[in-house]
Structure 1
Amino acid sequence: MASLTITSLYAGILALIYIVLSVRIIQLRWRHRVGIGTNKVEELQRAVRAHGNFIEYVPLMLLMFALIEFNGVGSTWVYALGGVLTVARIAHALGLSSSAGVSLPRTIGVAGTFGVLLLQAGILIGIFVGQA
């Protein structure tokens, strides 16, 4: 049975990032006395969006990591893609936390996330084609 130790590592690391993003929202809700929604507080809107964007991409990508690792793709690929995704998600969160506009960290985050997602898709399609 295949072990998913590398995927487990990145799931743990990314879960910690998710907790940080969640705690940031809680802090801002307390500071601005906002129970639900954002009450049009820009700083809270950006924090909610960074959190939402993270949860929109990361679960699918972790599933794809698990499928890649389970299918025996070299550990170097899984480590490299996981590292890039981790850096990309941190950069994106930092960029969006500082500005709703275009920023270098946010651009790095988007490019890194999409690059990993495209490579994951290519690897998984390649696995299928190779076995079909």
Structure 2
Amino acid sequence: MSVTITPIYAALIAFIFFALCWRVIAYRRAHRLSIGDEGNRSLLRRMRAQANCAEYAPFGLLLLLMLEVQGAPAALVHGLGLCLLAGRAAHAYGFAAKPMNLPMRQLGMVLTFVQLLVTSGVLLARAVM
């Protein structure tokens, strides 16, 4: 079986992750900050936005990949991939905005959790049937 859908969402989410990484690197360079957050709250927020993506995106993509490998309908895989992509984009935007855009951040987490829960449920149902 060829995996063709998950790589699309993996690549797009990787671009979001890269942008979050770049924000941390650029801030560190501009303010000559090296290790940790050195008590700088703005750097800490940037680091947490990056870390949040690193914590949730790989797991969501792994679940999506397993669903695709199981032969789930393409529309379902795309729908859940879009849910994860939109969730990660909304969360990153909400977290990065100054002042923080809490509704976008919350929407991002809700979409991410929906993707994780629905994908997990579908995988479990397909595995036991």
TM-score category of the 2 structures, normalised to the smaller one: over 0.9
DSSP-derived class of the 2:118 partner = helix
> Within 5 A, what are the aligned runs for 1:98-109?
98=97, 103-109=102-108
- Normalising by the residue count of structure 1, what TM-score does the alignment of the two structures yield? 0.92
Identity of aligned residues (%): 36
So what's the TM-score if we normalise by structure 2? 0.94
Q: Cα gap change, 1:125/1:84 in structure 2, threshold over 3 Å: closer, same or farther?
A: same
Is residue 41 from structure 1 mapped to residue 40 from structure 2 by the alignment? yes
Structure 2 gap segments, 5+ residues each: none
- Distance in 2, Cα, partners of 1:117 & 1:35: 34
Cα offset, 1:100, TM superposition: 8.2
Distance between the aligned counterparts of 1:75 and 1:45, measured in 2? 39
Q: Which amino acid aligns with 2:48?
A: R
Stretches of 4+ moved more than 2 A in 1?
98-102
Letter of the 2:5 counterpart: I
**Offset from partner CA, 1:10-59 (integer Å, 9 cap, x none):** 11111111111111100110122101111121221111001101111111
- Root-mean-square deviation (CA), in Å? 1.4
CA drift at 1:4? 1.1
Note if contact 1:43-1:97 (Cα within 8 Å) is conserved in structure 2.
no
Aligned length: 129
5+ residue gaps, structure 1: none
Q: CA deviation at 1:99?
A: 5.6
The residue aligned with 1:80 is: 79
What is the alpha-carbon distance in structure 2 between the residues aligned to residue 113 and residue 83 of structure 1? Answer: 10
Distance 1:4 1:110, change over 3 A: same
Deviation of 1:102 after TM superposition, in Å, equals: 7.0
Which is worse superposed, 35-44 or 108-117? 35-44
User: Which structure 2 residues correspond to residues 1-132 of structure 1 after superposition, within 5 A?
Assistant: 2-98=1-97, 103-130=102-129
